[in-house]
């Protein structure tokens, strides 16, 4: 488990992380979302001791990272896929990490196989593509077989097959009872991967809830209705239930009311229905609602210069 208590980081007059308090539990994938400049990478760096908090604390298993005797055996992290010596081979890079943390050398070959780099294990890491570098970074995070794992944008540079592999890997690690904390800008991937989401904006916590709950809370969730008496039903939905009903021919898009109430009202009015269904918001839509006021570099909807 990762515990943040009033975690704050300031750089001069700029507050990058502002009083984050939350727990990132084991046995699930927790997605970490926020606009550019929201403080995600800074938060992760403080968790693994690369940045010192201005105030508050970050604990791993109840202890600060700096107090862990064998850090890689307890916490694995991919924060920067380029943080390696370009002249070393993939195997040499991992062997150096293993020796510094008392990890058996045989573990290096195990993780190279896990991430699909066995065939290029003796190539210099500096010649790797971005996707191969990501795989090597993931291998380094897995090296000590830790119970806590942090990944910052792990699918950058990966092809669709690699993205699917990372998704399955994250979920399998969580299924083993590990704590898996993953940041990403790919909303569609987070919707498929994360059980729970932590959303921040301008360094502050905006949401900490199950993924399904965050999507369900979006105003973009609507009820779609098709009826030959759509106008009659629209008036009743507005006047009697206070719903917003937009009509296009025989089709209504209804917001502000549950699908069950729409169906019951149609039955009460003896209005025939040709179609009645819920159109759920995407995670991207829910995320944009949550973070709209926290975007650092906002632009207008009009294209052009």
Give yes or no for residue 192 having a pLDDT over 90.
Answer: yes
Mean pLDDT of 168-194: 94
The pLDDT of residue 298: 53
Give yes or no for residue 69 having a pLDDT over 70.
Answer: yes
Percent of the chain past pLDDT 70, that is, above it, reads: 96
Residues 6+ apart with CB under 8 A from 52: 46
Mean pLDDT of 120-138: 91
Give yes or no for residue 290 having a pLDDT over 90.
Answer: no
Percent of the chain past pLDDT 90, that is, above it, reads: 76
The pLDDT of residue 297: 53
CA proximity to 34, closest of 213, 191, 199: 199
The pLDDT of residue 216: 84
What's the pLDDT band for 304 if we cut at 50, 70, 90?
very low
Give yes or no for residue 295 having a pLDDT over 70.
Answer: no
What's the pLDDT band for 294 if we cut at 50, 70, 90?
low
Q: How far apart are CA 176 and CA 27, in angstroms?
A: 7
Q: How far apart are CA 68 and CA 62, in angstroms?
A: 11
The pLDDT of residue 157: 83
The pLDDT of residue 305: 42
Give yes or no for residue 303 having a pLDDT over 50.
Answer: no
The pLDDT of residue 158: 87
Give yes or no for residue 144 having a pLDDT over 80.
Answer: yes
Computed over every residue of the chain, the mean pLDDT equals 91
Q: How far apart are CA 120 and CA 200, in angstroms?
A: 38
The domains found in the chain, sorted by start residue, are: 2-216 (3.40.50.300), 222-279 (3.30.70)
Mean pLDDT of 2-24: 95
Q: How far apart are CA 196 and CA 190, in angstroms?
A: 9
The pLDDT of residue 30: 97
Tell me the H-state helices in the chain.
40-47, 71-74, 90-100, 106-114, 130-142, 160-175, 187-193, 211-216, 230-241, 259-268, 283-291
């Amino acid at each position: 488990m990762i515990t943040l208590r009033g975690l704050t980081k300031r750089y001069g007059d700029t507050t990058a992380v502002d009083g984050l308090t939350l727990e990132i539990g084991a046995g699930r994938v927790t997605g970490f979302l926020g606009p550019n400049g929201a403080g995600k990478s800074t938060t992760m760096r403080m968790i693994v001791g690369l940045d010192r908090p201005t105030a508050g604390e970050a604990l791993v298993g109840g202890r600060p990272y700096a107090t862990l005797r064998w850090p890689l055996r307890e916490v694995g992290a991919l924060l920067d896929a380029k943080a390696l010596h370009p002249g070393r081979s993939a195997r040499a890079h991992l062997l150096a990490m293993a020796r510094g943390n008392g990890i058996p050398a045989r573990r290096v070959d195990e993780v190279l196989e896990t991430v699909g780099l066995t065939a290029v294990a003796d190539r210099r890491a500096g010649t790797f593509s971005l996707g191969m570098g990501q795989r090597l970074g993931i291998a380094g995070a897995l090296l000590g077989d830790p119970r806590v794992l942090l990944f910052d944008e792990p699918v950058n540079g990966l092809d669709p097959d690699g993205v699917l592999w990372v998704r399955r890997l994250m979920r399998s690690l969580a299924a083993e009872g590990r704590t898996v904390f993953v940041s990403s800008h790919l909303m569609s991937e987070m919707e498929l991967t994360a059980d729970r989401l932590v959303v921040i904006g301008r360094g502050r916590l905006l949401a900490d809830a199950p993924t399904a709950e965050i999507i369900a809370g979006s105003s973009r969730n609507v009820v779609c209705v098709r009826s030959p008496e759509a106008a009659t039903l629209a008036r009743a939905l507005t006047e009697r239930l206070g719903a917003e009903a937009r009509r296009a021919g025989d089709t209504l898009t209804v917001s502000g009311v549950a699908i069950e109430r729409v169906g019951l009202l149609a039955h009460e009015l003896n209005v025939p229905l040709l179609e009645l269904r819920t159109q759920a918001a995407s995670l991207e839509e829910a995320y944009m609602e949550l973070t709209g006021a926290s975007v650092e570099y906002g632009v207008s909807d009009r294209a052009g210069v």
